[in-house]
Amino acid sequence: MSGGTVAFSLAGRRALVTGGASGIGRATAELLARSGARVAMNDRSVEALQAAVGELRAAGLSVEAVPGDLGDSAIAAAVARRSTERLGGLDYLVNNAGAPFTRNPIPPADLEALSDEFWDRILRVNLLSAFWMTKALASTLRASRGAIVNTVSIAAFGGGGSSSAYATAKAGLAGLTRELARGLAPQVRVNGIAPGFVNSGWECSFGDVEAAAKSSVALARVGEPADYAELIVYLCAGAAYVTGEVIPITGGQRI
């Protein structure tokens, strides 16, 4: 795992990372576990999740697989329950589950491509899942005076991304982050990150992102999952006076 130089000491802490089989979620689960936390990892792909958990366990890390499609509220509640049972409570919830549900970006003018079924799936996985998970775990996190971090997107602030539906769902998640911070204060802090380019196996292809990053990002590279994980873990374990914020992390893409 690549990453920065910040070290965390999280022995005795317990975390749940959704969308944990790959990309930012996988990197976050690994950093939490390498820092001493016990981590429950969720993903809707059972095979990918089992493979990720197996690799991290082989490295001596304490991780648990808790599969389930969080686009269903009942499954989300069950994932929350199983995770707390296995970990004996919870300190950190990382709502990272998300998906574009399209292999190619949908232009904003193409309204016909945004069917009711597409909207429903986008909103359930990219927005409502974070609410359902938070609702199910609110009392547990209040008891531990824990923290929540939501993975939003830079598309929430300027449009774009894989589709208008995705950008809208992520804008809703930014708003939900603020409202949950108000509702769960002062016991639980709730923040978010808004990633730009990410070097991961994202379902939707944006072409040559390396070239795009070199021409439009101040740091002239695509962000690695570990770059984002570092900020997520800091917002969980540190940042004691930070709540209700959604922090862009883009390498200077929009400066």
Contact 239, 226 (CB under 8 A): no
Structure tokens at 248: 């862009």
Say how far apart CA 184 and CA 81 lie, in whole Å: 19
Where does residue 129 fall: left (phi above 0), alpha (psi -120 to 50 degrees), or beta otherwise? alpha
Under DSSP, is residue 247 helix (H, G, I), strand (E, B) or coil? strand
Q: At what angle do helices 129-144 and 73-87 cross, to 10 degrees?
A: 30
Q: Of the candidates 39, 11, 60, which has an alpha carbon nearest to the alpha carbon of residue 232?
A: 39
Measuring CA to CA, how many Å separate 152 from each of 167, 196, 207? 9, 10, 22
Of 166, 228, 234, 241, the active-site residue reads 166
Say how far apart CA 220 and CA 16 lie, in whole Å: 32
Task: Check if 166 is active-site.
Answer: yes
- Strand-pair partners of 249: 195
Helices (H), the chain: 23-34, 46-58, 73-87, 116-123, 129-144, 155-158, 164-184, 209-216, 225-237
Residue 248 phi/psi, 5-degree rounding, is: -65, 140
Catalytic residues: 166
